[in-house]
Structure 1
Amino acid sequence: MRTLLITGPGGSGRTTTAAATALTAAREGARTLLLGTDRTDTLSPVLGTEATPRLTVKRVDPDADFRTDLAALQDRAASALDLLGASRLEPEETTPLPGAEELAILRALRDAALPESYDLLVVDLPPTPRALSLLALPEELRRYLRRLLPPERQAARALRPVLGRLAGVPMPAEWLYGTAARLDRRLAAVEAVLADRDTVVRLVAEPGPAGADAVRTATLGLALRGLRTDALIATRVLPESEAAGWLAGPVAQQRKTLDEWRESYDVHPVAHLGRDPRGTDDLAALAVPGVTTRPATVDWPVTDLPHSRLRSSGGTPTADDGVLVWHIPLPGARRDELDLVRRGDEIVVTAGPFRRIVPLPSALRRCTVAGAALREDELRIRFRPDPALWPRTH
């Protein structure tokens, strides 16, 4: 199943574009699921009441998800809560805590990808800043879990049933590790959806200075996370025939931005209808493209420079003053916005307002950082093998 994540600045026509894209795909024959993530139902007013064959629309319900999760947690910890004399919370007295909405969206994304009942999943993500934080959440939460509850510490779990029988109740550590393991599996499933080669992000923006800044920032944040983009939808494009009078300035501004975007993106201009699109006829008139091509794979490969003498001998890496280079694509990055820190076996990359902490590949853990440079929209980090950690060959 293909997954298309749609985001853009607030007010750029993100939801309209998501609805139009899903409608186009369904009319082209794809069994399409359109997932809305807004707390209020913003998709129904755009789509209207007319049913479309092969198109299913669903909306995330964070309130219901939070109550379900809280009830399940209380059930698993019932013995410990009874021991402490704690009172259970009833569903009608609970309201979602901060972060519950984000977790509900991630769960919906995971669940929608599981049944394989559809050919295409279109997700109307929140506005770009929040969407980028949301897409980073699975990796960050899994990292926190591994640090706070390392899986190897469960080696002593064989003793917990004995201690539990002595105390008369299950030990809290048992359900705590079990809960952490379940959460880790769920987050891993979301990560798998995001990392899948059939998952892409489609950016939406109105051409102009503000839209250009938003697109550059979004592209940088997506690249740092290794997420792929398939197209840039330029919304509310004024017709060239209106390039006179008081509209001459906005038309020229849009034309300039579109020309700049076309140098780096697959741009699809969407004409301004002169009104807010409502109903399937208006959505079809926007002529938003479907999903027919696969994007180029984006990854963070470790490669040799031509002058490197790093080689493999009998499956064991050896080096004679060799250099490894880690290429990290960062389109739109600026040198004065970059920061790089090595912390043990991790590398911390900061690009503008975004930061990512990733474990180093095994080969680079035995190297020291020899320098870094930003060239051709790539951050290139140079690693030199540490003689104390690399075996010598004779």
Structure 2
Amino acid sequence: MDAQARFERSWADIQGYLLRVLDAAGVDPITAEELTVIPGAEEVLALLELRAQVRFGTWDVVVVDCAPTAETLRLLALPEALGWYMDRVLPAERRFVKALRPVLTRAAGVPMPHDSVFDAVERLHADLAEVQDMLSGPEASVRLVLTPESVVVAEARRSFTTLSLYGYRVDGVVANRVFPDDGADPWRAQWVAAQSAVMNEVEESFAGLPLWRSAYHPGEPVGMTALHDFAEAAYGGGDPLQLPTGSGPMTIRRTRAGTILRLALPFVSQSDINLARHGDELVVTVGSYRRMLALPTALRRLDVSGARVASGALEIRFRAEDSR
């Protein structure tokens, strides 16, 4: 991927404006250029490149080998967070700046953004929103890969919860680097015993999801033949590209008493969740992660009558219209 070329196409107008602001403030040009490269820019550009590759239609399947968990989760939450800002703040800010640009420029001594800057931000937002729709849609899924270690399994459980919070489907778990129980020397036998205990925990934690095992190999699987053998051993002749069925992490069900919005949140208890309503949105907070969930049109005019955590999901009840 040519990160520089992609950056120039997606960020050039915004960066140009920021450089003018920093120049007016007397910042050294080289320092200013460094300051206008947003943190995590390469990851954002990788998402845009992923969108481009999928839209080309060249590939049967596109596989993304993600960064460490926390970075990936922050990145996957970015399009929705930016969308919230764009939908509420940017239109008003754009009108304000357009009306007062001459006065603000003279008073502040720095250039105010022109429409091209706002247009560039909106294009970036639209592109990232399309990425989010693509990744959370029925043609995409997330596969968790872990090693049989307690800390790693705990992190995988947290990832499963957070991915569900943001609407991403998890299609299965791959346990990698599992020592074979082949009656080898005592040192390896200790590893087998320790991993077996953790694998029992994995089976319990991710019950209902496919679990594949990949044995510990003396070297990396490099080349088509090695990768083919690796896949055959791990997936046992099954289809590694099979997508999950069903409606996804969020469902809506109507009852006589009203409507229930169900959001899958595995491994959480009632005390882990903070729930609030803000206009047409639900604010769901789990640990350090928060999602501003835009309610479907049919639910916006209904009042929340209660909520509970049951069977690994948050169920939010909305009162029927005739009972209001």
Q: TM-score range by the shorter chain?
A: 0.7 to 0.9
Give me the whole-angstrom Cα distance separating, in 2, the residues matched to 1:74 and 1:275: 44
The 5 Å alignment of 1:1-394 reads: 60-73=1-14, 94=34, 96-150=37-91, 172-242=113-183, 245-262=186-203, 263-287=207-231, 288-289=234-235, 291-296=240-245, 297-305=247-255, 308=256, 322-385=257-320
Kindly tell me: are residues 119 and 342 of structure 1, through their superposed partners in 2, closer, same or farther at Cα, counting changes over 3 Å?
Answer: same
Give me the whole-angstrom Cα distance separating, in 2, the residues matched to 1:68 and 1:303: 43
Give me the whole-angstrom Cα distance separating, in 2, the residues matched to 1:73 and 1:350: 31
Displacement of 1:367: 2.5
Give me the whole-angstrom Cα distance separating, in 1, the residues matched to 2:268 and 2:139: 26
Displacement of 1:270: 0.5
What amino acid is the match of 1:219?
A: F
What amino acid is the match of 1:137?
A: L
Give me the whole-angstrom Cα distance separating, in 2, the residues matched to 1:257 and 1:380: 31
Displacement of 1:247: 2.8
Q: Quick check: 2:285–2:291 contact (8 Å CA) kept in 1?
A: yes
What amino acid is the match of 1:122?
A: V
TM-score under structure 1 normalisation? 0.66
Displacement of 1:258: 2.8
Q: Quick check: 1:366–1:385 contact (8 Å CA) kept in 2?
A: no
Displacement of 1:130: 1.0
What amino acid is the match of 1:293?
A: Q
Displacement of 1:116: 0.6
Helix, strand or coil at the partner of 1:284: helix
Q: Quick check: 2:250–2:262 contact (8 Å CA) kept in 1?
A: yes
Kindly tell me: are residues 88 and 172 of structure 1, through their superposed partners in 2, closer, same or farther at Cα, counting changes over 3 Å?
Answer: farther
Q: Quick check: 2:144–2:172 contact (8 Å CA) kept in 1?
A: yes
TM-score under structure 2 normalisation? 0.79
Displacement of 1:331: 1.7
Displacement of 1:208: 2.5
Helix, strand or coil at the partner of 2:141: strand
Give me the whole-angstrom Cα distance separating, in 2, the residues matched to 1:74 and 1:273: 47
Q: CA RMSD in A?
A: 3.6
Give me the whole-angstrom Cα distance separating, in 2, the residues matched to 1:211 and 1:89: 44
Kindly tell me: are residues 104 and 292 of structure 1, through their superposed partners in 2, closer, same or farther at Cα, counting changes over 3 Å?
Answer: closer
Kindly tell me: are residues 382 and 196 of structure 1, through their superposed partners in 2, closer, same or farther at Cα, counting changes over 3 Å?
Answer: closer
Q: Quick check: 2:13–2:120 contact (8 Å CA) kept in 1?
A: no
Helix, strand or coil at the partner of 2:274: strand
Q: Quick check: 1:242–1:251 contact (8 Å CA) kept in 2?
A: no
Displacement of 1:93: 5.6
Kindly tell me: are residues 89 and 349 of structure 1, through their superposed partners in 2, closer, same or farther at Cα, counting changes over 3 Å?
Answer: same
What amino acid is the match of 1:214?
A: E
Q: Quick check: 1:236–1:273 contact (8 Å CA) kept in 2?
A: yes
Helix, strand or coil at the partner of 1:233: strand
Q: Quick check: 2:10–2:120 contact (8 Å CA) kept in 1?
A: no
Q: Quick check: 1:149–1:180 contact (8 Å CA) kept in 2?
A: no
Number of positions where the alignment pairs a residue of Structure 1 with one of Structure 2: 304
Unpaired runs of 5+ residues, structure 1, are 1-59, 161-169, 309-321
